[in-house]
Amino acid sequence: MAAAEQPHGASFSGRVGWGRRPGLVVIDLVRAYTEADGPFALPDPVPAVETIASLVTAARAAGHLVVWTKVRYVPGLADGGLFVRKVPGLAAFAENAEGRWGELVLAPLPGEPVVVKQYASAFFGTSLASTFHAAGVDTVVITGLSTSGCVRATATEALNHGFRPQVVRDACADRTRILHDSNLVDLDAKYADVIDAEEALRHLRGAPDDQATGTEAVVDS
């Protein structure tokens, strides 16, 4: 973004860059968002789903870790705290809820972790940080739904945990374009690098440890 377009000023919008080993997280890519009658239905989730699928394919082919997340609550929502009071629609993710809204749209492969969470951030109260640290991941490529909610919270927490967050703008979606764009601008200014799918694919197509810190991966033509 050009300086004239940056509303936060010169004190913001540095770059965390890429480390040596990326990992991909797919946040809450579930039917509740992608189905037209879902409780959190998005107006046009298909482009983001297709982009996520291409990133997953690239990460798998290069041997990078792919982690999936989804929300699940016990019957009665006792593990949802005040979050389920603030967002009543989360009751759709209770184990005994009708509609199977918590089902993933794309299928994880055997061995790919599926992190179950109760709050917006994929890191809060979960094993995600430990999983990435144990795998040597230093750069988290963030995709999923929705931009202003769980994607934003996960990106912020990734930075707090010492990872380099890379949010793929065309692999996320929200209820309005304004929500999507404004949150990406703010994330890029303060908490993450917001990138396009082309850049993400360029890095994910490199084998683990083939990437130099702070530089783009070299991709054979």
CA-wise closest residue to 1 among 16, 14, 19: 14
Model confidence pLDDT, tens digit, residues 106-131: 999 999 999 999 999 999 999 999 99
pLDDT of residue 175: 96
Mean pLDDT of the chain: 91
* pLDDT tens per residue, range 55-111: 999 999 999 999 999 999 999 999 999 999 999 999 999 999 998 999 999 999 999
Say how far apart CA 171 and CA 9 lie, in whole Å.
27
Q: Which fold is adopted by the domain 19-204? A: Rossmann fold (3.40.50)
pLDDT of residue 206: 82
Active site residues: 150
pLDDT tier at 208, thresholds 50, 70, 90: low
With cut-offs at 50, 70 and 90, classify the pLDDT of residue 2: very low
Contacts of 216 (CB under 8 A, 6+ apart): 18, 199, 202, 203
Domain ranges of the chain: 19-204
Helices (H), the chain: 31-34, 46-62, 83-86, 128-134, 152-160, 177-190, 197-204
